[in-house]
Amino acid sequence: MSELASEEAVSPRLQEFQREVEDLKVTGGRANPERAWMIVGAIAMVAGVALTLIGWVSTGGTSNTGDFADFAAMARFGMALTIAGSALFTVMSLRRWFRFWLVRLVYELRDQADRVTGR
Amino acid sequence: MTTATPVLELRNVRAGYGTIDVLHGVDLVIQPGQVYALLGPNGAGKTTTLGVCSGQIRPSAGQLLLCGREVNGAGSDALARAGVCLVPEGRGVFPNLTVTENLRMFTHAGTPFAEVRDQAFAQFPRLGERRNQLAGTLSGGEQQMLAMSRAIATNPAVLLLDELSMGLAPLIVEQLYERVAELARGGLSILIVEQFVQTVLGVCDVASVMLHGRVALTGNPQDIARDATAAYLGTTV
């Protein structure tokens, strides 16, 4: 509890408000959470491509079957990472774009409603 | 009446729409029972600031605090239930419902309909005369009166008013601000956003001028009245 409750001069309504605020379930969420996921997606894409290339080059330079299998697995993991990163990046980009599009749609509808009602 | 804990506070808040930032670090402190006027020209970020305060717009950085608690991420419905009431710019009513039906919608906070209706008609007798008229066909002033009825009926702890005077006759504006002054005398904390300086300085305790998404000037109404013109024109700050 903050020190507000201890203040004698605080009105009952304000005390009630403070209680309600204390009980609020707050996610701490920020605007555009997609941005962070877009960055994660981009990093995954780049890392995936790098792993795939390293795996591909390394498989060509080894005659040991065990090493070959390890490098091939690394390359496959890199490809999977690239695909997952690309998907994440695309989905989050679309979410950002649709959010902006929705805001614009709401404002246009409001504008249209104003014109209809003659405001 | 002031206490150590502000009822509403913004700390270095950045926010905007989609990818476009409108607020670039807004700081604002409202003490309990204080009437705070936020002034500034078109596009300064005043309405966006109210959007952040009411939970409609999430800050991309900074903090929104109510009674000292950070409430970033709380939904606008949760804040409204807690006692944050926003009267938006000329759009605080359902245009396709009648005045009476709109008043019925204002009972969400638990106030009985009869009480909401009686309070509204007592404060604004004009609404009583128009009780069966569609809200969308009311004049701008009458729509603002209806929106203000919500603020009166729901007994909020923090009232956010957006451009109350926009497009209204001076007499109606005076009448609306008289009601605001009455609410303030009852201990309500009020944040008023206005474009027209002289309209609001008579009822506020503290005023700020916003420019380009930042609070450029804060002071008592007399100081702001003196410096606002220069601030608007960008010759100070």
Global ipTM: 0.78
Interatomic CA distance for residues B65 and B151, integer angstroms: 21
In order of A3, A6, A7, B38, B64, the CA distances from B70 in angstroms are 15, 19, 20, 22, 6
Q: Any residues with CB less than 8 A from the CB of A12 and at least 6 apart, and which?
A: none
Measured in angstroms, the CA of B129 and the nearest CA of chain A are apart by 20
Q: Residue B218's beta-bridge partner residues?
A: B208
- A30 and B61: CB-CB below 8 Å? yes
What whole-number distance in Å separates Cα of residue A66 and Cα of residue B221? 80
Q: What is the mean pLDDT of chain B?
A: 86
Q: Which residues contact A68 (CB under 8 A, 6 or more apart)?
A: A59, A62
**pLDDT digit string, tens, across residues B95-127:** 888 999 999 988 877 788 898 899 889 888 889
| Min Cα separation B74/chain A (Å) | 5
| Closest in B57, B68, B157 to A2, CB measured | B68
What residues of chain B lie within 8 A of the CB of A22, using their CB?
A: 67, 69
Q: Is the dihedral of CA B49, B55, B59, B62 positive or negative?
A: positive
> Which residues are bridge partners to B85 per DSSP?
B159
CB B158 to CB A17 under 8 A?
Answer: yes
Angle CA(B227)–CA(B15)–CA(B12) in degrees, nearest 5? 60
pLDDT, one tens digit per residue, over B8-24 is 999 999 998 877 889 99
Q: What is the pTM of this model?
A: 0.72
Tell me the pLDDT tens digit for each residue of A6-51. 444 678 888 888 888 888 877 665 656 778 889 999 999 999 999 9
Contact A117 B155 (CB under 8 A): no
C-alpha distances (whole Å) from A85 to each of A34, A47, B90, B95, B215 are 13, 9, 45, 46, 40
Of B3, B15, B60, the CB nearest to A10: B3
